[in-house]
Structure 1
Amino acid sequence: MKLVLAVMLFGMTSQAGSPFAPVSGTPLIQVAAPADVPRSGMFDRNHPWPEDAIRLYKEAAAIEWETKPSEAVEAYRQVLAHIEDFPQDLRESLNTRYMTASIRTWIASLLTRTKRFSEAWPELEQARKVADDLLLNWGYSFPLVSLSRVVRTRTADLQLAIGASEAAAQSALEAMDLVAAFTAERPDDEELQSELAMTMLYAAESARMRGATAEAQTIARRLIEVRLLLLQSHPADVRKMRDASSAHILIGELSREFGKLDEAKSAFLAALQLRQQVERRNPGPRSSDDLLPVYSSLVNLARQQIQWDEVKTYAKVGLTTSRSILQKYPGKAGASESVAVFLTMLAEWEEQQDDLAAAEKYLLEALSLRKAAARSFTLDARSQRSLHVAFNRIGDIYRQQKRLPEAREAIESAKQISVAMIERDPTNLSLQRDLSVSYNRLGDCYLDEGLSNKALENYRDGLRIRRSIADIDKGSVAAKLDVVRSLGMVGDAAKSETEYREALAILDVLKANGNLPKVNDEWFDWIHQRIEDLKAK
């Protein structure tokens, strides 16, 4: 008898408040009675694969392990071609269909990694059709649930890579609800719990990207529950340490966005402690690479708390670690970007020390690395966004050096990148905020040149975007503080008390609700002084 995989938030057969409950309540598919799927379909005794097919598969897997994605794609395609020559009963067996869908998913992931997006889509479509059909007709088995989950998360990966963040969020939610429904029926199954945690991470990150901060935080808190439960059961398991640390990072980032900076720091330090344990137990490039996002998060938090010594400390160790990885593995995906990130952070520290020449040196190296990445991957959203950041930052340094034509040229380049990316992904709030930053920096340049009308035009464009973001992401303290900043810029350029008063009203509400970070308390004095200066004139 078939059962419907559709349950509402917290409305599960498991205990109320269980971290294993589906979130969205979206109906998925109907599942038949349980099936028995071996862990490796090609070795099923009832439908054994020929030796030459097994050999081809092992060769393809070996090529993938050697991090040769393009060669691995062609090797896996040879396996699929070989499967087409199987006898019909073997070709249509549960295990062969399972392996075929798995291989297509791996191919799609490799194609996404190498930016061959148009080739990845049909592979994922075929994999999903087979995976869902198997789950529908054969029923519960962990490998089948995992396969359907992986197809959906790989689809989300591809959608994110091409800038379709709204579609990626939907794919991530589908994956999470699928696994959560099964986990609620089997709350003691650790395999399902681990699978659920992976889908929660995808879903929370996707929700955060599209501005649903409160939804992301709800998912993230359930995620940390699941991963800490697993870590408690296996305290020496390196993989579970790594998984729990990822949840801590996400909680930290969301706490930072809500203005809970002390909570954010506690979460980041917990993540750092876990990842340092992993590095001691399992040294190597993967463990070193895993430390980088923690260092980056700690730098960003220290910036927000105006703790510049900590900015320098974490940025330097991050740069040293990322340079070492890039030197040892120059072809590693993301290695040059990690170096660029920490160069940019150190540039900001030098800027705070009034050493603009040192800041420029760091930023030019970061810009060079990001230009190279963007030339290689012209359709890659991450590479393009990183290049946008690099142009904006070097433009800001040029402005401070009074090199205003060069500053405007760099910032205009950043602006054009943002405009093009928003055309491809109009619901992505991070991209919209990037564009507002470019407008504000152009406004700064025009103001320095004495062109107050041009400055005001750009500041108002930035304010318009930031109002829109705050209206969509109503729970984000960071979005509200961005509006306050833009109101201050417009007030300065227009010599208008109206914008200052509106900024004060927003800060008053944040303060009354306990959501205003302490470091922003001084903004009250700054705005009141601006109002007094206007009245004096």
Structure 2
Amino acid sequence: GQPARALEYYTQALDIRKKLAAADPSNAQAQRDLSLSYERLGDVTRQAGQPARALEYYTQCHEIRKKLAAADPSDAQAQRDLSLSYIRLGEVTRQLGQPARALEYYTQALDISKKLAAADPSDAQAQGDLSVSYIKLGDVTLQAGQPARALEYYTQALDIRKKLAAADPSNAQAQTDMVVSLYKLGLTNREMADYRAALMRFKDGLVVLAKLREAGRLQGTFAEWPAIIGNDIATCELLLKLSPGLLEDPAWPLLWGWPRF
């Protein structure tokens, strides 16, 4: 809640870590710590609405992580760090209105995540990272006007998240991650005018949320999701009831006073 103060602390930490890394360039931990400082500065400046400045920090972080990952390809942590830096570069370039560049970064993150997940299929974190890469690719392709391609990515993310949620039913994060995938699929189905599929996705997500709420584990912004998804369900049900002729009329949303979907 105090970005200016956080920026000050992260800058001080950066100054210290720069000196430590310079004192022993061969120390991988010192280099990783330095990359984390750049990453934190990128996070706080991006949240403060300064994406161009954040890009500079993320790029510096990324350059360090590329070297660390190349120095020891068998180091899973170094590879994961590199994947996460690609994700952040993708996020900030999307924010800067460069979706094609973001797509490249997300694809590189996906390549690394696939290898890490394949190396240890039982590693829930690696599987979760892989699902995030698919979600990001879905987001950017949907933004680029390719809903069918986005649907494929979101479906791959959902397949992973279903398994993670089933493996640990008590993990609320795994359950809400699955709901996010279902919701994104529902919105994409709706954009493609597949209202029955959208309705199914929304209802599946609502069932998961209802169970979490009943168990007292639906917290934060997700506490508002049942109402949001409920509205989406009502919209899809109404769309299914409307006659095909009305749906083909480009003016039909205006007749009801609704925005176009």
Q: TM-score if structure 1 supplies the norm length?
A: 0.40
Alignment RMSD, CA only?
2.1
Does the CA-based 8 Å contact 2:6-2:44 persist in structure 1? no
The one-character-per-residue Cα deviations of 1:496-520 (angstroms, maximum 9, x if unpaired) are 0111111111111111111122342
Structure 2 vs 1, CA of residues 499 and 316 (structure 1 numbering), >3 Å: closer, same or farther?
Answer: farther
Match of 1:320 in 2: 12
Which runs of no fewer than 5 residues in structure 1 stay unpaired?
1-308
Match of 2:201 in 1: 499
Higher gyration radius (CA): 1
1:509 aligns with 2:214: no
Aligned counterparts, 1:363-378, within 5 A: 363-378=58-73
Give, in whole Å, the separation in 2 of the partners of 1:487 and 1:311. Answer: 33
Structure 2 vs 1, CA of residues 425 and 323 (structure 1 numbering), >3 Å: closer, same or farther?
Answer: farther
Does the CA-based 8 Å contact 2:35-2:61 persist in structure 1? yes
TM-fit CA distance, 1:397: 1.7
Match of 1:468 in 2: 163
Structure 2 vs 1, CA of residues 529 and 327 (structure 1 numbering), >3 Å: closer, same or farther?
Answer: farther
The letter of the residue matching 2:170 is: G
The letter of the residue matching 1:374 is: A
The one-character-per-residue Cα deviations of 1:81-122 (angstroms, maximum 9, x if unpaired) are xxxxxxxxxxxxxxxxxxxxxxxxxxxxxxxxxxxxxxxxxx
TM-fit CA distance, 1:310: 5.1
Match of 1:340 in 2: 35
Match of 2:149 in 1: 454
Give, in whole Å, the separation in 2 of the partners of 1:365 and 1:532. Answer: 47
The one-character-per-residue Cα deviations of 1:132-154 (angstroms, maximum 9, x if unpaired) are xxxxxxxxxxxxxxxxxxxxxxx
Give the counterpart of 1:522 among 200, 224, 245.
224
Aligned sequence identity (%): 27
Match of 1:381 in 2: 76
Give, in whole Å, the separation in 1 of the partners of 2:85 and 2:220. Answer: 30
Task: Indicate the SS of the match to 1:524.
Answer: helix
Task: Indicate the SS of the match to 2:122.
Answer: coil
Does the CA-based 8 Å contact 1:319-1:339 persist in structure 2? no
1:395 aligns with 2:97: no
TM-fit CA distance, 1:534: 3.1
Give the counterpart of 2:129 among 434, 438, 454.
434
Give, in whole Å, the separation in 2 of the partners of 1:324 and 1:358. Answer: 21
Does the CA-based 8 Å contact 1:322-1:335 persist in structure 2? no
Give, in whole Å, the separation in 2 of the partners of 1:488 and 1:395. Answer: 22
Give, in whole Å, the separation in 1 of the partners of 2:35 and 2:236. Answer: 42
Give, in whole Å, the separation in 1 of the partners of 2:118 and 2:228. Answer: 37
Aligned counterparts, 1:78-117, within 5 A: none
Higher helix share: 2
Structure 2 vs 1, CA of residues 494 and 381 (structure 1 numbering), >3 Å: closer, same or farther?
Answer: same
Does the CA-based 8 Å contact 2:52-2:96 persist in structure 1? no
Does the CA-based 8 Å contact 1:316-1:342 persist in structure 2? no
Give, in whole Å, the separation in 2 of the partners of 1:377 and 1:421. Answer: 14
Q: TM-score if structure 2 supplies the norm length?
A: 0.80
TM-fit CA distance, 1:451: 0.8
The letter of the residue matching 1:505 is: V
Task: Indicate the SS of the match to 1:334.
Answer: helix
TM-fit CA distance, 1:526: 2.5
Match of 1:123 in 2: none
1:485 aligns with 2:180: yes
Which runs of no fewer than 5 residues in structure 2 stay unpaired?
191-197, 240-261
TM-fit CA distance, 1:409: 1.0
Structure 2 vs 1, CA of residues 349 and 428 (structure 1 numbering), >3 Å: closer, same or farther?
Answer: same
Match of 1:534 in 2: 236
